Amino acid sequence: MSEIKKVHGIYVLKKNSPTLANLRQALPEPSIHGYKVWSSSFLIMDYLKYEPFDIGSSVLDIGCGWGMLGIYCAKSFKAKVTGVDADEWVFPYLRVHAAMNDVKVKTHTSLYQDIPANMLTKHDVMLGGDICFWDELVEPLYDLVSRAVKKKVGYIIIADPGRSPFMKLAKKCKKDFGGELIPWQITKPRADSGYLLVIRTK
C-alpha cells in the first residue's frame, strides 16, 4: 500500500509512512506541536479555491510546520513561498514534502515577533493555520499582523478550530484592521470545521 495520499492536489505522507518513521528516528523531535499536518491548513486550502490570490504571488507561510499550506500555494498558484517556523526541526519534513510535490519552498527560523520588516515587504500574501493556540501568542501575532498591514501585505488568512486565543486575536484584528471572521467547513481529507480570519488591504 502506498505511503502517500493526495489531498487538494498535493501529495502528503500518511501517518504510518516509513519515510516519516525514518525521519523521526534520525532527527530530534519537532517541538511546539510540529509533529503532524494540522487541519486548519486544509481549511485555508479549501477557501483559496473560492477566494484565490494572483498566480505568481509571494507567500509567507507563518508557523508553517511541515509546510503543506505553502507547498499547496507553490503548486496551485506558482507562488514564491517562504515557510517560517520557530522550530528548525520541522524543515526536514517540509523539504521531503516539497520534493515529493516538485516545488521549492524557502525556509526561515524565527519567532513571530522577530520576523523582519523587509521579509514582510517582499510578500503579497501571509497565511497561517493552527498557529494561535496559547494566550501568550495573541500579542505577538497581533503585532505581526499589524506590521504586515503597514507593509502592504495585501491578503492575510489565519485559520483555527476556534480556540479562545484565536478568537481574541480575531476580535482585535476585526476592530483594528477590518478583518472578517468566517466559519468554514471541509469534507477533505476528512470532515472538519473552523474559522478563518481574513484581512485584505488591497
In three state form, how does the secondary structure of the chain look?
CCCEEEECCEEEECCCCHHHHHHHHHCCCCCCCCCCCCCHHHHHHHHHHHCCCCCCCEEEEECCCCCHHHHHHHHHHCCEEEEEECCHHHHHHHHHHHHHCCCCEEEEECCHHHCCHHHHHCCCEEEEECCCCCHHHHHHHHHHHHHHHHCCCCEEEEEECCCHHHHHHHHHHHHHHCCEEEEEEECCCCCEEEEEEEEECC
Q: If one looks up domain 4-200 in CATH, what number appears?
A: 3.40.50.150
State residue 2's pLDDT score.
Answer: 81
State residue 188's pLDDT score.
Answer: 85
State residue 32's pLDDT score.
Answer: 58
pTM comes to 0.92
Q: What is the pLDDT along the chain (202 residues), one digit of tens a residue?
A: 488 889 899 999 888 788 888 888 887 777 655 556 768 999 999 999 999 999 999 999 999 999 999 999 999 999 999 999 999 989 999 999 999 999 999 999 999 999 999 999 999 999 999 999 999 999 999 999 999 999 999 999 999 999 999 999 999 999 999 999 999 999 988 899 999 999 998 7
